[in-house]
Homo-oligomer: A and B are copies of this chain.
Amino acid sequence: MEDPPTPSTSSPPPPSSPSASSALVFRVNRPVYDEEKLESQLHKKDTPSVTIKQRISQQCQCSAQRARALVFSLLPVLSWLPSYPFKQYIFSDVVSGLSTGVVQLPQGLAYALLAAVPPVYGLYSSFYPVLLYTFFGTSRHVSVGTFAVISLMIGGVVVREAPDSDFYIPANGTNMSAVLDEVARDARRVQVAMVFTTITGTIQIVLGLLRFGFVSIYLSEPLVRGFTTAAAVHVVVSQLKYLLGVKTRRYSGALSVVYSLNAVFSKITETNIPTLLLGVSCLVFLYIIKDLNERFKKKLPIPIPGEIIVVIVSTGVTYGMSLSQLHQVDIVGHIPTGLSAPALPDFSLVPNLITDAFAVAIVGYSMGISLAKIFALKHGYTVDGNQELLAYGLCNFISSFFQTFAVTCSMSRSLVQESTGGKTQIAGLLASLVVLLVVVAIGFVFEPLPQTALAAIIMVNLLGMFRQFRDIRHLWRTSRIELSIWVVAFVSSVLLGLDLGLLVSIAFGILTVVYRTQHPHSSVLGQVPDTALYLSVDQYEEASEEQGVKIFQFGSSIYFANSDRYVSSLKEQTGVSPEQIQYLRKVQKKKMKKSKENHTLVVCANEERGVSHELVPNHHSQDKEEEQVNGQVKGQVNGQVKGQSTGADTDSEEAVFIQTLSSPVHSIVLDWSCVGFIDSVGAKAVKQVIKEYAAVDVSVVIAGCNSSVLDELERLQFFTEMKRSIFFPTVHDAVLHCRNFNTSLGASPETCV
């Protein structure tokens, strides 16, 4: 901006530039256009309209190329694996894969607790889907696998469908309480989790094929953050009992947080001290490691694998000190070695699970895609939202037959994978192989692993989510509406449970959008002198109104839910109310008649120079109400007229009265530059208000309306009653027209056809 501009036809340095600071000049010299005139000078391009039939036939064309592209898009591995730069990438991928695998392992065991299935199924879930994602996924850095929020949602459903209460074996003979058949219960729970995962996968596949990847947009950031914070609350509450070593049942559904807390605290005296000590040590250790990893991020080649250390040490300690046998510390227990054969899920459960599966499918996908997009942005590649959805769907669907529960990306693990130098999906593949190795070879080693250590792992992983409480302060300063979304998402998800809470918060999020379009800013504009720029007169001192012209701006489209508001704020903000003027005219006409009969008319001239004409009331009239209105309108007229001269101070001609009673504002310009669409209700309201104003000799013109809205108005038959020439491309065109129009034609509007 420092150099003077090169000469050009429409921005030469002007000889008499008002501003010395900039040499750039905005210079326009053209006739004033209204839409009619403008369109008569322009030529519309013929856009060949494509019929639905043509569009379908286009879509359905088949060719070898298309088929190839389809296969490549469904199996992204085909496009990146053949060109995998082996020498360059393999070392980083191996390091990253091993590091991630080492995290997968303890997280898999821990999150199985959340999903209310035996730990080994967490290992399965850390193997199959991770393997499959290598083939279907488009993100190179996310680590697919078990994830706390999803696992918790699954756990809620599983517990609801297979509650403890269904599996009590009546105690035989004696008066003792019944015994819980844990084996049968767990088998059932695995079955529920499996079929649930199958449904989730199916939903994701269907949505992916239908290109419905966009559904995740309704999960806006504040919503997701409020929701995940709520999930963290649920998780911590559900893990408390493991940390303390008390035995309570697991609750699900609305208010489960309250019930769980109540159950734990009512049994707090039964706390198993060794369990608590072990758990808290793990917690503190993990927290320190996490902190170190963050603090020395740049110096450490790979993050310290705190979780696997905790698993190994706590397993060793528990085994060595026989804590399980001597102090009743709950341990993971039997871990079968090897993989189990695929099995068919029990589809009779489908009707009970389908709505929850929708929630998990969408939440899982949203978590994954948002993470994938962040990495893609950072490393300069693109991820395909619909393919990702399909990939998760396939991972879940296929794996579910091998007894896994639903998975998505985990934030913490993906960060490990990326920060240890992972370059491609190969890293994920290797991570899954690490898990496989453990499952087939040394799974039994983890049998003495205490559950309290797993609870500690889960809790420390969720600490980050609790930091999201800081959002509240931040959002309070930046956007109250987004704060309300956060709070609604958090409160409803904590109290109603994650599934119902999610539904409520999505509905609320959508309503805020409607609220915003219903209550947009609106203002009266004035020109910044000699600039053709129009700004709010309430905000800027320099914005000055053209005499007799009001410019009204409304910051939203006009449609059924705000057309009433549009009309009322138009009348309120411009201060010109056709009803009042109309009513006053009637009253005055009547009075004129009467006074003509009675010859008692007195005109108090000059009370307020050139404006006020008061009729001394004929005291026998009953018009209290009318006087009231009269007073109001007079006040309004007084308030508005500045420098409007009337030539009727003494004459008592009726016409003069009517004339002076017309509003001092002769034209209203509606700035429609913010109007993105209009519906029939809006068009009708506008038509109506234009007519109302026309009846009191105020002409209304519309400025800045874009061509798609004009087309809409055309279709809505707006122009059967209105002229196209009341539309102007800019506010300044409209103002110039109004100024001229008033001088040349007087006050009779010709807005209607």
A221 at the interface (CB under 8 A from B): yes
Compute how far the CA of A382 lies from the CA of B684 in the bound complex, rounded to whole angstroms: 18
Contact indicator A679/B220 (Cβ below 8 Å): yes
Question: In the complex, which residues of chain B have a beta carbon less than 8 angstroms from the beta carbon of A521?
Answer: 676, 706, 708
Report the minimal beta-carbon distance from A726 to chain B, rounded to whole angstroms.
12
Give chain B residues whose Cβ lies under 8 Å from the Cβ of A536: 707
> Would A739 and B482 count as touching, CB distance under 8 A?
no
A124 interface hit (Cβ, 8 Å): no
Q: Give, as a whole number of angstroms, the nearest-CB distance from A603 to chain B.
A: 25
Residues of B within 8 A of A530 (CB): 9-10, 28-30
> Given A561-B220, A679-B220, A24 and B479 touching (CB < 8 A)?
no
Question: Which residues of A in the span 172-223 have a Cβ within 8 Å of any Cβ on B?
Answer: 214, 217-218, 220-222
Q: B-facing mask of A709-753, CB < 8 A → 1, else 0?
A: 000100111000000000001101100110111011100000000
* Residue A83, interface by CB 8 Å: yes
Does residue A255 face the partner (Cβ distance < 8 Å to B)? no
> A630 interface residue, CB < 8 Å from B?
no
Question: What is the minimal beta-carbon distance from A559 to any residue of chain B, in angstroms?
Answer: 6
Indicate whether A564 reaches chain B with its CB closer than 8 angstroms: yes
With A30-B18, A83-B623, A739-B11 in contact, is A680–B2 under 8 Å at CB?
no
Interface residue range, chain A: 35 or more
A21 at the interface (CB under 8 A from B): yes
Q: Mark A532-558, 1 if CB is under 8 A from B, else 0.
A: 110110111110000000000101110
Q: Does A514 sit within 8 A of B, measured CB to CB?
A: yes
B-facing residues in A522-536 (Cβ within 8 Å): 528, 530-533, 535-536
Given contacts A539-B707, A674-B676, contact A478 B716 (CB under 8 A): yes
Binds B, one of A31-39, A145-153, A154-162, A232-240: A31-39
Is A509 interfacial (CB-CB < 8 Å)? yes
> Are B517 and A676 in contact (CB-based, < 8 A)?
yes
Across the interface, which residues of B come within 8 angstroms of A301, CB to CB? none
What separation, in Å, do the CA atoms of A140 and B478 have in the docked complex? 48
Taking a contact as CB atoms closer than 8 A, the residue among B27, B83, B582, B716 that contacts A624 in the complex is B83
Is A673 at the interface (CB under 8 A from chain B)?
yes
Residue-wise interface mask of A (470-481) relative to B, using a CB-CB cutoff of 8 A (1 in contact, 0 not):
000000011101
List A residues 6-25 near B (Cβ within 8 Å): 6, 8-11, 14, 17-19, 21-22, 24-25
Min CB–CB distance A570 → chain B (angstroms):
15
**Is the C-beta of A579 less than 8 angstroms from some C-beta in chain B?**
yes
Q: Which of A40-48, A57-65, A288-296, A648-656 contacts B (4 or more CB under 8 A)?
A: A40-48
Looking at A26, A28, A478, A520, which has the most chain B CB atoms within 10 Å of its CB? A26
Nearest CB of B to A47, in Å: 7
Q: Which of A4, A509, A511, A557 has the most CB of B within 10 A?
A: A557
**Which residues of chain B have C-beta atoms less than 8 A from A217's C-beta?**
560-564
Contacts of A635 in B (CB 8 A): none
In the complex, residue of chain B having the shortest beta-carbon distance to the beta carbon of A553: B706
Copies of this chain present in the complex amount to 2
Other-chain residue from B9, B22, B29, B381 in contact with A25 (beta carbon distance below 8 A)? B29
Residues of chain B within 8 A of A481, CB atoms compared: 679
A51 at the interface (CB under 8 A from B): no
Interchain CB contact under 8 A, B44 and A540: yes
Q: Which residue of B lies closest to A673 (CB)?
A: B673
Query: Measured between alpha carbons, how far is A745 from B5 in the docked complex, in Å?
Result: 10
Question: Does A572 interact with chain B (Cβ within 8 Å)?
Answer: no
Determine if A377 is an interface residue (Cβ-Cβ < 8 Å): yes
CB <8 Å contact, A42 and B541: yes
CA distance A27 to B27 in the complex (A): 7
Q: Nearest CB to that of A542 among chain B residues?
A: B42
Cβ of A513 < 8 Å from any Cβ of B? yes
Q: Which residues of B contact A22 (CB under 8 A)?
A: 31-32, 37
Q: Does any Cβ of B come within 8 Å of A607's Cβ?
A: no
* B-chain residues with CB within 8 Å of residue A33 when the two chains form the complex: 26, 531, 533
| Given A3-B745, A42-B528, A560-B509, CB of A679 within 8 Å of CB of B29 | no
In the bound complex, CA of A22 to CA of B563 (Å): 35
Q: Give A477 Cβ to nearest chain B Cβ, in Å.
A: 7
| A555 vs B674: C-alpha distance when bound (angstroms) | 8
Q: Please determine whether A26 and B221 come into contact, CB atoms closer than 8 angstroms.
A: no
Residue of B19, B79, B513 touching A625 (CB-CB under 8 A): B79
Q: Known interface pairs A513-B561, A707-B535. Does A31 touch B44 (Cβ–Cβ under 8 Å)?
A: no
| Cα-based distance from A127 to B43 in the complex (angstroms) | 65
Does A327 sit at the interface, judged by CB under 8 A? no
Residue pairs across A and B with Cβ atoms less than 8 A apart, 23 shown, are A1-B741, A11-B736, A11-B739, A14-B29, A25-B32, A25-B736, A38-B528, A43-B540, A44-B540, A44-B541, A45-B538, A83-B623, A85-B622, A221-B680, A221-B681, A377-B688, A381-B579, A478-B716, A513-B514, A513-B517, A520-B677, A556-B676, A674-B706
New contact pairs (8) apart from A11-B32, A29-B530, CB-CB < 8 Å: A17-B31, A18-B30, A28-B29, A28-B732, A44-B539, A380-B583, A482-B680, A674-B675
